[in-house]
Amino acid sequence: MDQYIGRLLDDRYEILEIIGTGGMAVVYKARDHRLNRLVAVKILKDEFARDEEFRRRFRAEGEAACAAIRTETDAEIDRQLDEARQAQQAKAEHTLHFETERARTRANRELSAARMQARAKLAAQRQQIAADAFAAARTQLAAFAAGRDYAAWLVKSAAALAETMGESGTLYARTADLPLLQGKLPAGVALAADDTITLGGLRAANPATGLAADDTLEARLDAQHDWFLQNAGLEITI
């Protein structure tokens, strides 16, 4: 049996078996107890081990082999570390991109919600402003209908409507306004009460021709509503 098999060299390498024999050395399979791995151990034959020059050359060969192994190992470690760094960087960039997109989506959603809230608030304010403005206008029209200039305006409106309707036409006014128009309409034009007219003014119709017109103060006020919203700076543009 070989003298080295079963021995522990340098308190580290347990020689297990011969795996090769050369002219100057024997190669053994051994276990490295520090790193817990199998290794190859090359041992000079006795006749060469006693030759100092040969031993020096053998050590130099071993050191060169170890240096080559260290260089290869270091290169492999650097490669694996570089791959790990690249993988981590790619993961970090992906995470950053994902978080950025999620933050952008959240910001857009919050901005959209804020715009909707602002629109709703402005719409309510616009409606209130318009309501206040038209309530004031309605009050002024009611005052006009109760004033001294209303009768002349009513007669002028009646004349224009009568001309438009022609014969067989009928003008409609509030019951309270009928005395203001008695005897002041062209021949053939009838006059009737319509108390659905609240503020004043006239409606007209001619069944024979299918013509109809609304010159009430309410109609004139309603006609100004859209114009008022557009020209009073109350449009919502958010």
Per-residue pLDDT reduced to its tens digit, 114-140:
888 888 887 777 778 777 887 888 899
Cut 0.75: pTM above it: no
Amino acid at 34: R
> Up-side HSE of residue 61: CA atoms within 13 Å toward CB?
11
Name the CATH superfamily housing domain 143-231.
Answer: ATP synthase, E subunit, C-terminal (3.30.2320.30)
Q: What pLDDT does residue 233 have?
A: 59
The pLDDT value recorded for residue 166 is 85
C-alpha to C-alpha distance for 114 and 109, rounded to whole angstroms? 9
**CATH class label, 8-72:** alpha beta
Q: Residue ranges per domain, the chain?
A: 8-72, 143-231
Give, as one character, the DSSP assignment of residue 137. H
Sign of the torsion angle spanned by Cα atoms 193, 198, 200, 201: negative
The pLDDT of residue 235: 57
Low-confidence ranges of the chain (pLDDT < 70): 1, 65-66, 69, 229-238
The pLDDT tens digits of the residues spanning 140-162 come to: 989 999 999 999 999 999 999 99
